[in-house]
Amino acid sequence: MSERTAVYPGSFDPVTLGHLDIIDRAALIFDRIVVGVLANSGKEPLFSVEERIDLLRRTIGERPRIDVTSFDGLTVDFARSQGASAIVRGLRVVSDFESEFQMALMNRRLNPEVNTVFLMTAFSNVFISSSIIKEVCRLGGDVGDVAPPESVSAMRRKFGLDG
130 included as an active-site residue: yes
Q: Which of 52, 89, 92, 134 is catalytic?
A: 92
Q: Which is nearer to ligand PNS, 80 or 161 (CB)?
A: 80
Regarding 103 and contact with ligand PNS (CB under 6 A), the answer is yes
Q: Which of 5, 6, 7, 9 binds ligand PNS (CB under 6 A)?
A: 9
The angle formed by the CA atoms of residues 50, 163 and 147, to the nearest 5 degrees, is 50
Q: Which is nearer to ligand PNS, 15 or 152 (CB)?
A: 15
43 included as an active-site residue: yes
Total of chain residues touching ligand PNS, rule CB under 6 A? 9
Regarding 106 and contact with ligand PNS (CB under 6 A), the answer is yes
Q: Which of 11, 130, 134, 151 is catalytic?
A: 130
Query: Mask 73-92, x = binds ligand PNS (CB under 6 A)?
Result: -xx-----------------
Q: Which of 107, 116, 125, 151 binds ligand PNS (CB under 6 A)?
A: 107
Q: Radius of gyration (Cα) for the chain, nearest Å?
A: 16
Q: Which long-range contacts (CB under 8 A, 24 or more apart) does 44-53 make?
A: 45/11, 45/13, 46/13, 46/14, 46/134, 46/155, 46/158, 47/13, 47/14, 47/154, 47/158, 51/14, 51/154, 52/11, 52/12, 52/13, 52/14, 52/15
Interacting span for ligand PNS (CB under 6 A) from 24-32, 101-109, 120-128, 154-162: 101-109
Closest CA to 16 of 120, 91, 125, 118: 125
Closest CA to 65 of 6, 121, 148, 149: 6
Q: By CB under 6 A, name the binding residues for ligand PNS.
A: 9-11, 38, 74-75, 103, 106-107
Q: What residues are labeled active site?
A: 19, 43, 92, 130
